[in-house]
Amino acid sequence: MKLIGLVFGTAFGFVLSAALLTDYNVIHRMLLFKDWQPFLIMGSAVAIAVPGLRLLKRVGWVTPLGGPLTFSPSTVQRHHVVGSLLFGTGWAIAGTCPGPAAAMLGSGRVMGIFIVAGIFSGILLRDAMVARATARPAAVSPEPLGVGL
Amino acid sequence: MIDLLPDRLPWFIAGPLLGCLIVGLFAIGNRPMGSLGAYIQTVSAVRGGAPEPWRVWFFGGMILGGFLVAILGGGPPAGLAFGALGEELSTPVLALVLLAGGLLIGFGARWAGGCTMGHGLCGTAILSRGSMVATAVFMSAAVAVSFLIHVVVGGRL
């Protein structure tokens, strides 16, 4: 599975970089509705994946490394909304999201280091907050940690 | 540097390729693809053990993929440049802004349980309601804040 992770990660980083999704101007202009290509990329990716996954499910596909194919869709929870508001704000400020930020490092866009460092710090901070809330039963009930897609 | 790649891989190639990667990872390993998960597992690995070590390799792959594009002559130029934002801010200020942005991205996406790949593409592709709502919220927030930035700096960004 490690090799699969490396291959898929490499292909993913390659596509993100080659499609210029690692470029601040492209993402910023996308979010101002001046560049529609990133939206079309997202839309066409989902448009391919939905029927592809549905077909695998229909034929009862058994995966070579992970057993029978299972999807775990989630119901709408408060954390989906609150977390995403913060994430979207950060996305607009840095003009990127976690995948392209990692790809920036490989392509020598040095400033990406600060974004990646920020993302790691944010994850650690959130985990520390949840751990604290869990340790004190009287405190605000912690949001469940998602699977981290 | 070799010049093999177009300046910009068109959306009708990039998008379907990403879709195939999502389907492929489910077909081979029965796992949802996600960028944030790769960061989370990398953090876990450093702290002493990742439940899904393959995601650490995925993280390394994302960096390697960017590197391959750079040596094949595609993508934006390397260096300290950071597009229009880099022209607007001095390098130390830019570094702080990017660190703050990254912090919000990591903190928020960790809270939301996924990012653009995990919720936006993969979660949406398995028709997960939570992912669809998360995607609608972070896209709307990103658009709103981008327009706010655009107005605040007098249209320069």
- DSSP 8-state symbol, B144: H
Using CB atoms within 10 Å of the CB of residue B48, give its burial: 0 to 12 exposed, 13 to 18 middle, 19+ buried: exposed
Q: B108, A88 in Cβ contact below 8 A?
A: yes
pLDDT > 60? residue A18: yes
pLDDT > 80? residue A146: no
| pLDDT mean across residues, chain A | 92
- DSSP 8-state symbol, B82: B
Cβ B134–A28 below 8 Å, yes or no? Answer: no
Q: How far apart are CA A12 and CA A58, in angstroms?
A: 26
pLDDT > 70? residue B149: yes
pLDDT for position A138: 57
| pLDDT mean across residues, chain B | 95
Helix axes A112-135, A78-94, angle to 10 degrees: 160
pLDDT > 70? residue A93: yes
pLDDT by residue (tens digit) across B67-120?
Answer: 999 999 877 778 999 999 999 999 999 999 999 999 999 999 999 999 999 999
What is the amino acid identity at position A68?
P
Rounded mean pLDDT, A61-85: 95
Cβ B116–A56 below 8 Å, yes or no? Answer: no
Cβ B59–A102 below 8 Å, yes or no? Answer: yes
Percent of chain B with pLDDT over 70: 99
Q: How far apart are CA B72 and CA B79, in angstroms?
A: 16
pLDDT for position A55: 97
Q: How far apart are CA A134 and CA A67, in angstroms?
A: 33
Cβ B135–A108 below 8 Å, yes or no? Answer: no
> Cβ of B136: how many Cβ atoms within 10 Å?
17
With bands split at pLDDT 50, 70 and 90, how would you rate the model's confidence at A135?
A: confident
SS3 sequence of A39-51: HHHHHHHHHHHHH
Q: How far apart are CA B109 and CA A63, in angstroms?
A: 28
With bands split at pLDDT 50, 70 and 90, how would you rate the model's confidence at A149?
A: low
Q: Kindly list the residues from chain B whose CB atom is less than 8 angstroms away from the CB atom of residue A111.
A: 80-82, 86, 91, 94-95, 98
Rounded mean pLDDT, A101-127: 97
> Cβ of B77: how many Cβ atoms within 10 Å?
10
pLDDT by residue (tens digit) across A42-72?
Answer: 999 999 999 999 999 999 999 999 999 999 9
pLDDT for position B73: 81
pLDDT for position B78: 80
pLDDT > 80? residue A14: yes
pTM beyond 0.90, yes or no:
yes
Q: A103, B74 in Cβ contact below 8 A?
A: no
Residues facing residue B84 across a β-bridge = B82
pLDDT by residue (tens digit) across B19-36?
Answer: 999 999 999 999 999 999
Q: How far apart are CA B54 and CA B25, in angstroms?
A: 12
| Residue A146, CB-side half-sphere exposure with 13 Å CA sphere | 34
With bands split at pLDDT 50, 70 and 90, how would you rate the model's confidence at A147?
A: low
Probe site for chain A from B31, B98, B119 (most A CB atoms < 10 A)? B98
Name the residue in chain B with its Cα closest to that of A112. B98
Q: Kindly list the residues from chain A whose CB atom is less than 8 angstroms away from the CB atom of residue B73.
A: none
pLDDT for position B74: 75
The shortest C-alpha distance from B52 to chain A (Å) reads 9
pLDDT for position A84: 98
Name the residue in chain B with its Cα closest to that of A99. B35
Count of positions (residues) in chain B: 157
The complex's ipTM?
A: 0.96
Cβ B125–A49 below 8 Å, yes or no? Answer: yes
